């Protein structure tokens, strides 16, 4: 991998290039912030408050479709989170140097996406004020949660994932916060001084730091695979046709990384342009990311085909019917949107010209985001709407409250990300320096 | 100052350090500042980090907590679902696995903070910073 552009920067220039993003925001930043905040306010705050006040009946959920857009959103956002950990931890263990221009934004994305995902099980609760019943704690009625239920595994998996990602994000940022502190003045110097907890960059500190970073990466790697496997078991442990398959864990993990890579592209392409990071985040880096997206797209497509093969070769009429219904049934439109967005459009990335064209990548990444949202919708809603007995079949249409909350979740996510770009270093400065120095030798 | 060496280049810094080590300087006699972790520096001073013991303790307490919690809770409130055994270890392993990672990660972080003497309130606004330079500061010998 060539990195001539990066190598031309000296260490001081690099500090200034990256910290340029933290200078006074332009009017467009405020516009973007206002739009996100508005979506968040009307979506999450107003719609959710209305639902809490009125009851879960304001959503389109019914019997048999008890899981709808909320659970779709939950799986979608947990999936988005995954590529952040992949880029920061797995590629760290593989020593893939191109990760260092993305890993900070990808880690931020992970933390914010898990925060967004964590809202949805709460939104889906009829009595949200009793959410703490999910946690195991000694109580007066001497009840404990059922640890054989995948929903309890989810509580453990998602809360562990959030904690470890947040630690990883902060630890990776610690030396960079000290750089911001060195450059800042006045009250900001104090704020970043407190955030960087007195980091000096001595040899002894680096020694422990390197160990810590390696251990966290080693923990995060199996964690990221376990989290989406657990999410997939929410479905695969049930006997509903279309859910009850053993390929769900790898299929979900690949899908998660696929959607996450797309989201990183969606976020970083404009970020690079706005904050003039062309010399730090190069086209080569995007090309590597696009290849990762392509590989996961192929895995996901393979899973779509295998699902059908399993269903038809199983000789199980319910299973076979479930998949025929997906393809040509009442919900054929979401299903075909998914197929086109996830298994056809991303294949243009096979062409080198497309891989190196940021506008094209940005547009493809938007399609992938849409496609992956519909993938979760299809798995959840289509399977539930037609199970074994025709007597219990039923249709589901999301209500405006569900749409509002979904839009609100995007507002919340982008709001957090926009605040991040102005308050914290958006590229791992220290790691880029390390790479530059390694290339000089 | 005679007891402070500052370098712009990593190569010169390493060479000087090698020279000092040859003269019998140990890790405790100097304070070394670097803008990023310098490859091979840890190997020059013998002592490896003790962080792994914190990590191991955390991971072991995590897996123990997980197994004890799930088994105790199922014994304390034996709820039979779908005719499955009360003490089903495979699903309990999922919870134990997550707790292994959770406590392993938290213990590692705390271990790191302890070993690196962080947070350090006196260095919130440091008096002197070396920025992007490499520095070797000889500590004053106490006699």
Residue A420 structure tokens: 């991040």
Query: What dotted CATH number matches A4-135+144-440?
Result: 1.20.1630.10
Tokens at A190, concatenated: 């104090």
Q: pLDDT at position A19, please?
A: 86
pLDDT of residue A1: 41
**Is B124 in the A-facing interface, judged by CB distances under 8 Å?**
yes
Sheet strands side by side (includes B134-138): B4-7, B134-138, B30-33
* Backbone torsion region of residue A74, taken as left when φ is above 0, otherwise alpha when ψ lies between -120 and 50, otherwise beta: alpha
What is the complex's ipTM, to 2 decimals? 0.91
Tens-digit pLDDT profile for residues B50-101 = 999 999 999 999 999 999 999 999 998 888 888 888 888 999 999 999 999 9
pLDDT of residue A52: 94
Q: Which residues of B touch A162 (CB under 8 A)?
A: none
The reported pLDDT for the residue numbered A2 is 42
Task: Sort out which chain B residues have CB atoms less than 8 A from A430's CB and list them.
Answer: 35-36
* Degrees, nearest 5: CA angle A91-A100-A170: 90
- Label residues A274-297 b or e (16+ Cβ within 10 Å = b): ebebebbbbebbbbbbbebbbebb
The predicted structure's pLDDT at residue B48: 83
Of B37, B121, B101, B61, the closest CA to residue A167 belongs to B101
Chain B nearest C-alpha distance from A212 (Å): 6
More confident of the two residues B30 and A177: A177
Q: How far is B23 from chain A (nearest CA, A)?
A: 19
Q: Does B6 touch chain A (CB under 8 A)?
A: no
In this prediction, residue A101 carries a pLDDT of: 82
B3–A contact, CB cutoff 8 A:
no
A208 and B51 within 8 Å at the Cβ level: the answer is: yes
C-beta atoms surrounding A209 within 10 Å:
24
Answer whether B98 sits within 8 Å of A144, measured CB to CB.
no
Judged by CB atoms closer than 8 Å, whether chains meet at B95 and A202 is answered as no
Taking all residues of chain B, what is their mean pLDDT, rounded to a whole number?
87
A-contacting residues in B 16-55 (Cβ below 8 Å) = 27, 31-39, 41-42, 45, 48-49, 51-52, 55
**pLDDT surpasses 90 at B45:** no
Taking chain A (441 residues) in runs of 10, the rounded mean pLDDT of each run is: 55 84 86 95 94 93 93 95 86 84 90 94 92 88 88 94 95 92 89 91 90 93 93 93 91 93 92 86 91 94 94 91 93 95 94 93 96 95 92 93 96 94 90 80 60
pLDDT-based confidence at residue B46 (cuts at 50, 70, 90): low
Rounded CA separation B17/B3 (Å): 13
- Say if the Cβ atoms of A203 and B69 lie within 8 Å: no
Terminal CA-CA length for chain B: 20
Q: Please, where are the H alpha helices in A68-185?
A: 69-85, 91-93, 103-124, 150-183
């Amino acid at each position: 991998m060539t990195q001539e552009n990066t190598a031309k920067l000296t260490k001081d220039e690099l500090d200034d290039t990256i910290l340029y993003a933290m200078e006074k925001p332009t009017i467009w930043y405020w516009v973007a912030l206002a739009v996100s905040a508005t979506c968040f306010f009307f979506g999450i705050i107003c719609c959710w408050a209305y639902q809490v006040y009125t009851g879960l009946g304001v959503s389109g959920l019914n019997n048999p479709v008890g899981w709808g857009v909320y659970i779709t959103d939950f799986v979608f956002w947990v999936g988005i989170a995954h590529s952040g950990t992949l880029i920061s931890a797995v590629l760290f263990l593989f020593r893939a140097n191109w990760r260092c221009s993305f890993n900070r934004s990808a880690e931020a994305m992970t933390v914010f996406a898990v925060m967004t995902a964590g809202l949805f099980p709460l939104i889906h609760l009829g009595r949200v004020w009793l959410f703490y019943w999910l946690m195991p704690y000694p109580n007066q009625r001497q009840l404990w949660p059922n640890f054989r239920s995948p929903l309890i595994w989810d509580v453990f998996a998602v809360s562990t994932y959030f904690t470890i990602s947040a630690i990883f994000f902060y630890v990776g940022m610690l030396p960079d916060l000290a750089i911001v502190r060195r450059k800042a003045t006045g009250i900001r110097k104090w704020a970043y001084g407190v955030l960087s907890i007195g980091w000096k960059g001595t040899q002894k500190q680096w020694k422990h730091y390197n160990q810590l970073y390696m251990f966290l990466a080693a923990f995060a790697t199996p964690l990221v695979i376990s989290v989406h496997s657990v999410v997939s078991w929410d479905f695969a442990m049930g006997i509903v046709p279309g859910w009850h398959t053993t390929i769900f864990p790898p299929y979900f993990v690949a899908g998660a990384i696929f959607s996450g890579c797309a989201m990183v592209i969606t976020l970083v392409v404009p970020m690079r342009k706005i904050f003039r990071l062309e010399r730090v985040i190069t086209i080569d880096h995007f090309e590597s990311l696009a290849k990762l997206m392509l590989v996961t797209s192929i895995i996901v497509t393979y899973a779509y085909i295998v699902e059908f093969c399993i269903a038809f070769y199983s000789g199980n009429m319910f299973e076979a019917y479930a998949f025929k219904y997906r393809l040509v049934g009442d919900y054929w439109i979401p299903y075909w949107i998914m197929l086109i967005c996830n298994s056809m459009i991303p294949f243009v990335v096979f062409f080198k010209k497309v891989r190196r064209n940021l506008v094209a990548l940005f547009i493809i990444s938007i399609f992938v985001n849409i496609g992956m949202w519909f993938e979760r919708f299809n798995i959840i809603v289509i399977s539930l709407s037609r199970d074994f007995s025709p007597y219990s079949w039923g249709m589901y249409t999301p209500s405006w409250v569900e749409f509002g909350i979904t839009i609100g979740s995007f507002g919340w996510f982008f709001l957090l990300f926009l605040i991040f770009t102005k308050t914290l270093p958006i590229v791992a400065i220290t790691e880029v320096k390390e790479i530059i120095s390694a290339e000089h030798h | 100052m005679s007891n402070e060496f500052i370098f712009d280049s990593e190569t010169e810094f390493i060479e000087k350090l090698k020279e000092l080590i040859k003269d019998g300087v140990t890790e405790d006699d100097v304070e070394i500042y670097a803008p990023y972790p310098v490859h091979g520096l840890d190997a020059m001073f013998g002592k490896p980090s003790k962080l792994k013991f914190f990590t191991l303790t955390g991971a072991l307490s995590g897996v123990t907590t997980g197994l004890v919690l799930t088994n105790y809770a199922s014994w304390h409130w034996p709820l039979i679902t779908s005719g499955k055994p009360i003490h089903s270890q495979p699903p309990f392993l999922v919870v134990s696995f997550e707790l292994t990672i959770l406590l392993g990660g938290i213990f590692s972080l705390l271990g790191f903070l302890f070993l690196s003497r962080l947070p350090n309130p006196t260095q919130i606004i440091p008096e002197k910073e070396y920025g992007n330079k490499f520095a070797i500061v000889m500590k004053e010998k106490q006699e």
